[in-house]
Amino acid sequence: EIVMTQSPATLSVSPGERATLSCRASQSVSSKLAWYQQKPGQAPRLLIYGASTRATGIPARFSGSGSGTEFTLTISSLQSEDFALYYCQHYNNWPLTFGGGTKVEIK
Amino acid sequence: QVQLVESGGGVVQPEGSLRLSCAASGFAFSSYGMHWVRQAPGKGLEWVAFIRSDGSKKYYADSVKGRFTISRDNSENTLYLQMNSLRAEDTAVYYCAKDPTVGGTLDYWGQGTLVTVSS
């Protein structure tokens, strides 16, 4: 099983600032990496797939990069609605696994 | 628009059984693979199971293998999760989710149904 590790666990950022979230895989997952956003009491929402492709309707301030074992989700200028939990997930093989999440909170 | 509505959650005793359903609408259900993902209270996401569009292939997390069975009825646009030999650690919100490719990403999610395993 591929272990996904996200850092930091919590990121404190001021509105308008840039946020950089990291995700590391225990072995290469090529570019088979997705990012999700989850707000309290809501289901997750797909943000990024293929490591860098934005899902339908996702604003351009969200961008993903990386391949192999190291990945990054960048939110270029945080809006109030972006404060949430973010999860990475690989889909290179079975079983699918998620990272433990990064909480982006208001500084 | 795509809609996924889970049902069937509730309180069940340890070693009991429960069947979850996920009613799909707004897309060609029979053309897409489907997943179950769970989230224990205050915890992260855990993938549970996947079934191909025609039901020909199924995959499970080790934590549920041999106890849970994923299935689907394409004539009824419904996904199922039969859960047997339930344990306290199975307590979670269970989400169904649509897969736009094959065993890849999860592009639409339901709102979830809570399963509580407790005596």
**Per-residue pLDDT tens for B80-100?**
999 999 999 999 999 999 999
Instruction: Please say whether the beta carbons of A51 and A71 come within 8 A.
Output: yes
Sign of CA dihedral B3, A57, A2, A22: negative
Instruction: Confirm or reject contact between A35 and chain B (CB < 8 A).
Output: no
SS3 A71: strand
- Give the per-residue pLDDT at B101: 81
Instruction: Confirm or reject contact between B2 and chain A (CB < 8 A).
Output: no
List of chain A residues with pLDDT < 70: none
Pairing mode of beta strands B3-7, B10-12? unpaired
Nearest to A46 among B60, B105, B111 (CB): B105
For B1-47, the pLDDT digits (tens) are: 999 999 999 999 999 999 999 999 999 999 999 999 999 999 999 99
Task: Work out the angle at residue A46's Cα, subtended by the Cα atoms of residues A42 and A49, and round it to the nearest 5 degrees.
Answer: 160
Instruction: Please say whether the beta carbons of B91 and B115 come within 8 A.
Output: yes
- Give the per-residue pLDDT at A12: 96
pLDDT at B102 over 90: no
Instruction: Please say whether the beta carbons of A4 and A24 come within 8 A.
Output: yes
